[in-house]
Amino acid sequence: MSSQKVALVTGSATGAGRAIALRFAKRGYAVAVNYSRSEADAKETLAAVQKLGVPAILCKATVGDDAQVRAMVERCRVELGGLDVLVNNAGTTHFIPHSELEAVTDDIWDEIFQVNLKGAYYASRAAMPLLKARQGNIVSISSVAGLQGHGSSIPYSASKAAMNCMTQSLARAFAPDVRVNAVAPGPILTRWLIGHEKHVDKAIAQTPMKRAATPDDVADVVEFLALGTTLITGQVLVVDGGRTM
């Protein structure tokens, strides 16, 4: 395997995923940029990473498809030489008021859990042999919705609560070789929230720091958990301006 450090960031075409990919590139890591639909945006992320002088590859893969995820991780091994950090950032949701129970169909449940939970599991499973070989780590992007049951929809909140539990399970199972942690942001100012400004304003009104998270706020915490510590594992670190304290 190559001595070049390598990070794979799922869902890194835009938003927090792009900020995280660029943060690793600034630290000298080769970066695998992943997307499922936003090809033009993903190519912009790839170009920005390459501009920082590090190797990078563009990987089209739906994280909810195990075969596609395994192929993406194999590309990290073959084309970049291995894997040191996996960031499970890809996610999806539907904005449905929690009181509207009949609006939540089986298809919505399945779609959200397939991407948010099973997708993170598929990526972690495929990456684990490479991460163990490098004493690497996993950081998953969860949400405060998984801690308090609020958020864009009940299935979304439930998927993030399950991710938090899975983070602990993986951390126990693979210590001391691989550390596994998660970041739980509040609302992040990305295009995901366009059209849902009232949701953001309500959250900010309940936040001591009086602002929502930016993609760079999330990247700060991912960088710390992945590169700034060697003892933290099995933790869900909240970055929400004090809203949930």
Catalytic (active site) residue 156:
yes
Q: What is the largest CA-CA distance in the chain?
A: 53
Count CA atoms closer than 13 A to 144's CA, side-chain side. Answer: 18
| Calpha distance 90→62 (Å, rounded) | 9
Q: What is the rounded (10 degree) CA torsion for 212, 216, 222, 228? A: -120
Q: How far is CA 244 from CA 97, 156, 163, in A?
A: 20, 17, 18
Q: Which residues pair with 202 in a beta bridge?
A: none
- DSSP class of 213: B
Q: What are phi and psi of 190, to 5 degrees?
A: -135, 180
DSSP state of 241: T
DSSP state of 188: B
Contact 4, 30 (CB under 8 A): yes
* 59 backbone dihedrals φ, ψ, rounded to 5°: -120, 110
Kindly name the residue from 29, 121, 122, 156 that is annotated as catalytic: 156
Positions annotated as catalytic residues are 156
